[in-house]
Chain A
């Protein structure tokens, strides 16, 4: 296979992965907010979130495999698994490995959600907020295209979308429609034991 083709594929798949991952994070935030509108029913968000996440894995696999098999870089398979084990751009590649492994943990626990239980799944899913920024930093540090205009524009769009979504989530009260009623009911049936 042509080395140049491999190299282009690595870069392209990396950029696509970043777009997809950002979209997945935004959709995840939206589903926790129970977002819906007339043209966007609520079930769409989690379904899209899940499918885009699985698609991200495909592009990420392409990104990683093409990078590893590229004879020019001599990365070796260990780099894909063990962070900071690469001689080449040790720090930046290591961040990529970490972002990928966090994502893998999230996906695996999501697929096994019925087995591990809701609480454990939820806890691990918070790692998404670690995986995404690490991935973005990795793209800026390693990316051959990091300084090209199209890539910078793309990154800005991704970062701004995720920032807006997360900020909105932080400012919103919990979206649980039962929260108020449940609070009222519980305060009516609560007391200390032994009374």
Chain B
């Protein structure tokens, strides 16, 4: 796999690009401070952790709240099981991420930088640690690593703050949002590592350059992970607005005909394959269609596999990943998962289908974090995409999810 911008440069199989090579290849960033914030706003860069929030707006808000005390968190927890883009980026281009993080520190006048990296991403963690050691003293002195526990919710921003502060990666109630009151009660700028890497390039080449990539009205590039029924699963960098069909072609095409596409990972939505191919991979365009890019996972479900069974497996996973803090999430997801599993194992029964539909609505919005909301959004998309399969599911338990 090669890339356009973030993944351009030396062969990715060579591992992390060192600081010397990185500086020789790209030079030093020229923008920082207020002009950088303006460039980010103009660039229309959005967060790549899943929420797709405008980076420029977030930086502006932390910059105005910061009194030299702000904290930068580079979020590389990547708890989404199907996503690989963050760990690939950290393992191969750590200095792009660090450039972005330290530019953020200068721009919002931050006192410290935390590199929050999933502990199970061993190569990425080591690469980030090594890269940090290569940075100049002034940067190294304010930065530190923090290992994100291997749980789905650990990457959620309030959970990251909770881990860095108190050593427990469970979400806390928001508001206050971390950007108002985060690590050590200071305004905290948390960005996904891919977002920070884009910042590093925008700070060198400007917002017009960033917008020069992109198709069908979308701007910039993005990293996506192709999973499931494709010939070459993995991470590719695409121009925003590239359709799902084109992205699949970049991954060598389908390994077998697909019945449905899971867009955005386990917090994403199922889309019937026929409807999916023409969808542009761009947060704005997908948002307008009532969908979301999420963390950029495109998972293909081969038509030989059973959508109901895969949905049941994923619901089981999401239920077990509840941090057991809010009753509706802990009990609700468990009940939903049990009902899904009953349909998968013993076949369709009308009571469980009715329960799934009712509970999926009742759980919505009743957690301190968005974990239950993400899970039921996923489930509701399954109920509509696989409505026929759910209505006529035989008694079997076919396979583990891809």
Binding site for B on A (CB under 8 A): 177-178, 181-182, 184-186, 188-195
Is B381 engaged at the interface, CB distance under 8 Å to the other chain?
Answer: no
- Since A191-B167, A192-B167 are in contact, a sample of 16 more A-B pairs with Cβ atoms closer than 8 Å, ordered by chain A residue number, is A178-B325, A181-B324, A182-B323, A182-B325, A185-B170, A185-B323, A189-B151, A189-B159, A189-B169, A189-B170, A189-B323, A190-B168, A191-B147, A193-B164, A193-B165, A193-B166
Q: Which 7 pairs of residues, A with B, have the shortest CB-CB distance?
A: A181-B324, A182-B324, A189-B169, A189-B149, A190-B168, A185-B324, A192-B167
Chain B, residues 163-203, CB within 8 Å of chain A (1/0): the string is: 11111111000000000000000000000000000000000
- The docked-state distance in angstroms from the alpha carbon of A24 to that of B202 is 65
Task: Give the contacting residue for B146; candidates A181, A185, A193; CB below 8 A.
Answer: A193
- The docked-state distance in angstroms from the alpha carbon of A124 to that of B322 is 32
Sample of 24 A–B contacts (CB below 8 Å): A178-B324, A178-B325, A178-B330, A181-B324, A181-B330, A182-B324, A182-B325, A184-B324, A185-B151, A186-B168, A188-B149, A189-B163, A189-B168, A189-B169, A189-B170, A189-B323, A190-B149, A190-B168, A193-B146, A193-B163, A193-B164, A193-B165, A193-B166, A195-B147
Residues of A within 8 A of B323 (CB): 182, 185-186, 189
Residue of B nearest to A184 (CB): B324
- The docked-state distance in angstroms from the alpha carbon of A136 to that of B322 is 46
Most buried by B among A181, A189, A194, A195: A189
Interface residues of B in 93-144 (CB under 8 A from A): 144
User: Whole-angstrom distance from the CB of B39 to the nearest CB of chain A?
Assistant: 33
Residue of B nearest to A192 (CB): B167
Residue of A nearest to B166 (CB): A193
Residues of B within 8 A of A181 (CB): 324, 330
- The docked-state distance in angstroms from the alpha carbon of A192 to that of B330 is 26
Is B154 engaged at the interface, CB distance under 8 Å to the other chain?
Answer: yes
**How many chain B residues touch the partner (CB < 8 A)?**
21
Residues of B within 8 A of A186 (CB): 168, 170, 323
Chain B, residues 315-330, CB within 8 Å of chain A (1/0): the string is: 0000000111101001
Task: Give the contacting residue for A195; candidates B146, B159, B165; CB below 8 A.
Answer: B146
- The docked-state distance in angstroms from the alpha carbon of A73 to that of B170 is 61
Residues of B within 8 A of A182 (CB): 323-325
- The docked-state distance in angstroms from the alpha carbon of A186 to that of B322 is 11
- The docked-state distance in angstroms from the alpha carbon of A161 to that of B119 is 54
Interface residues of B in 190-238 (CB under 8 A from A): none
Residues of B within 8 A of A178 (CB): 324-325, 327, 330
Known interface pairs A178-B330, A182-B325, A189-B163; A194-B146 also in contact (CB < 8 Å): yes
- The docked-state distance in angstroms from the alpha carbon of A191 to that of B192 is 22
- The docked-state distance in angstroms from the alpha carbon of A194 to that of B164 is 7
- The docked-state distance in angstroms from the alpha carbon of A178 to that of B168 is 17
User: Whole-angstrom distance from the CB of B109 to the nearest CB of chain A?
Assistant: 23
- The docked-state distance in angstroms from the alpha carbon of A135 to that of B322 is 45
User: Whole-angstrom distance from the CB of B51 to the nearest CB of chain A?
Assistant: 21
- The docked-state distance in angstroms from the alpha carbon of A185 to that of B330 is 11
User: Whole-angstrom distance from the CB of B74 to the nearest CB of chain A?
Assistant: 16
Residues of A within 8 A of B322 (CB): 185
User: Whole-angstrom distance from the CB of A195 to the nearest CB of chain B?
Assistant: 6
- The docked-state distance in angstroms from the alpha carbon of A64 to that of B174 is 45
Residues of A within 8 A of B146 (CB): 193-195
Residues of A within 8 A of B163 (CB): 189, 191, 193
Residue of B nearest to A190 (CB): B168
Most buried by A among B144, B164, B170: B170
Residues of A within 8 A of B149 (CB): 188-191
